[in-house]
């Protein structure tokens, strides 16, 4: 996460390092709840490396995962 839009996220959201530690699989959705607010930040993992191009299947799987996570109630969404 050091190129493109990821660089902006690194500056704006300081807890991004937690995402790397969780070793996400392509197609997963990672969630961070910002401390002190009710704001939730969803990260869709669509490729393994920044230089790769996401394919349709990986984007579709990430969107399906996002639907599953967002349809859960707020008490079941959890924090990372």
The larger pLDDT score, comparing residue 58 to residue 15, is at 58
pLDDT in tens, 8-54: 877 777 677 777 788 889 999 988 887 788 888 888 999 988 788 99
pLDDT at 53: 92
pLDDT at 75: 54
What does the alpha-carbon distance between residue 41 and residue 55 come to, in Å, rounded to a whole number?
23
- What CATH number corresponds to the domain at position 20? 3.40.220.10
Write out the two tokens for 50.
């920044």
The number of distinct structural domains making up the chain is 1
With bands split at pLDDT 50, 70 and 90, how would you rate the model's confidence at 74?
Answer: low
pTM exceeds 0.75 for this model:
no
What does the alpha-carbon distance between residue 59 and residue 75 come to, in Å, rounded to a whole number?
26
pLDDT at 37: 82
Look up the domain containing 10 and give its range. Answer: 5-77
């Amino acid at each position: 996460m050091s190129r493109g839009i990821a660089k902006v996220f690194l500056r704006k959201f300081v807890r991004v390092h937690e995402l790397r530690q969780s070793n996400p699989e392509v197609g997963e959705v990672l969630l961070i709840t910002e401390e002190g607010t009710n704001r939730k930040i969803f990260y869709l993992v669509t490729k393994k490396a920044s230089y790769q191009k996401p394919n349709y299947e990986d984007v579709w799987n990430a969107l399906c995962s996002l639907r599953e996570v967002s349809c859960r109630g707020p008490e079941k969404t959890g924090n990372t």
